[in-house]
């Protein structure tokens, strides 16, 4: 397992569409493990493979709620409900936060790391994170969706 380099603001790869994972092989399993390590190193909640330079439809999410990180391969949001205004940041845009409108609830289908097709009904933070990370897979960035005038830059910790 390894910490991967994050792709940051201005990196062209972040605007590219990720490709479907066709086979969940050892290479994908290693990518998942590395993504979880990288997510934890930077105290993130979600990470898409494109953020570590891999154009594959893989997402890892950790809500730090005592459960294992969630791995979503080829996730698709099939239904959304309601709206929530949330404060959002992104590991690819360090120390930048803004308000954004996300669905209050999403239903998503995905394949887990064992190859089983799954469905999740997510609310609040999980719904927000699934929406944010699936946007990454489409090459869409949260910076393009912020509520005007809400962007804040925080000083990096020394």
Say how many domains are in the chain: 1
CATH number at residue 88: 3.90.45.10
> Distance (Å, rounded) from C-alpha 28 to C-alpha 145?
30
Instruction: Report if residue 16 sits inside a domain.
Output: yes
The whole-model pTM stands at 0.95
* Residue 158 resides in a domain: no
Distance CA 137, CA 76 (A): 10
Tell me, yes or no, if 114 is annotated catalytic: no
Tens digits of residue pLDDT in 46-93: 999 999 999 999 999 999 999 999 999 999 999 999 999 999 999 999
Catalytic residue (one of 133, 138, 140, 155): 133
φ, ψ dihedrals at 4, nearest 5°: -95, 155
124: left (phi over 0), alpha (psi -120 to 50) or beta: left
Domain of residue 56, residue span: 12-153
Whole-Å CA distances, 39 to 6, 44, 45, 78, 113: 10, 5, 7, 26, 17
Residue 4 lies in a domain: no
**Domain presence at residue 82:** yes
pLDDT at 158: 65
In a domain, 43, yes or no: yes
Take residue 102 and report the two structure tokens written for it.
């996300």
Q: Is residue 5 part of a domain?
A: no
């Amino acid at each position: 397992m390894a910490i991967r380099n994050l792709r940051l603001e201005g990196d062209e790869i972040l605007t590219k569409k990720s490709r479907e994972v066709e086979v969940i092989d050892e290479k994908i399993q290693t990518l998942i493990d590395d993504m979880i390590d990288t997510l934890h190193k930077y105290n993130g909640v979600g990470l898409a493979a494109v953020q570590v330079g891999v154009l594959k439809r893989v997402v890892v999410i950790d809500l730090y709620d005592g459960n294992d990180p969630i791995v979503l391969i080829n996730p698709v949001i099939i239904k959304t409900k309601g709206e929530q205004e949330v404060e959002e940041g992104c590991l690819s845009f360090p120390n930048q936060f803004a308000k954004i409108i996300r669905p209050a609830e999403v239903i998503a289908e995905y394949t887990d790391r064992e190859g089983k097709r799954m469905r999740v009904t997510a609310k609040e933070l999980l719904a927000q994170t699934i929406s944010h990370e699936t946007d990454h897979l489409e090459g869409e960035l949260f910076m393009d969706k912020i509520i005007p005038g809400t962007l804040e830059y925080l000083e990096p910790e020394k």
